[in-house]
Amino acid sequence: MNIVEALDADSEMVCVVGAGGKKTTLYTLANLVPQSVLTATVRIPIFDEHVARVDVTADPVAALRDTDAWPLGLVPEQERDDRYRGYDPSLVTAIQESGEATAVFVKADGARTRWLKAPNDREPRIPPTADTVIPIVSARVVGKPLSEEYVHRPERVAAITGLNVGDTIHTDDVAAVLASRAGGLKSVPPQATVIPLVNMVDDDELETVGRDIAAGILERADVPRVVLARMNTEKPLVTVVERD
């Protein structure tokens, strides 16, 4: 099994949410799946160097019909020097339903480079036609304090886990967030397959941490498996923890 197979990333629409390497995951997968699109329903940093071309367009389906550059980035507007805006989810569905791309990879929320997050009331912005949703977390957050330095919206993570802001984060806390309908499973369409991803598994100690997180997720959520990876490497897949 490779990372694309492990994450069901060859489906028609793959949305990545959470924190701890979301953008790197999107860039990696878009470059592994032929004739793919990389886009967003929220703000996304400038990513031109990670794809063959970025088209800034209000008509992404027309841009798709005219392209021979893959993976293709599609965004509606450059908001600032360092970021693009995202499309309305309905336009991302139109990209998918056009049939012009084999897969559409979607950044569906933000995390401000933190390692763990819980969404607010307005996110994630997952199109209703998503096939695969990948909630992501960094294994490195275990042992860190529940604070804004490491966690995006720590108060929302506290509400899910029962921790207080400032408490030490344990593997069971991370599993609780990823398996929660207020956390990693929020707004997932009923037909979508959820494949949680524990990222930044950079050594044996972090693999043990990742396996503990995976076991906690599988106890709480009806997901087929949890993937452990280091998405910034040439061979990102570390291991897959399957449901018994």
Catalogue all structural domains in the chain, each as residue range(s) with its CATH number: 3-32+103-242 (3.40.50)
Average pLDDT, the chain: 97
Q: Average pLDDT for residues 142-160, to the nearest whole number?
A: 98
pLDDT of residue 124: 98
Which tens digits make up the pLDDT trace of 163-172?
Answer: 999 999 999 9
pTM above threshold 0.95: yes
| The pair of three-digit structure tokens given for residue 121, joined into one six-digit string | 């009331």
pLDDT band at 53; cut points 50, 70, 90:
very high
Q: Which residues pair with 54 in a beta bridge?
A: 73
Residue 38 clears pLDDT 90, i.e. is over it: yes
pLDDT band at 244; cut points 50, 70, 90:
confident
Contact between residue 1 and residue 241 where contact means Cβ atoms under 8 Å apart: no
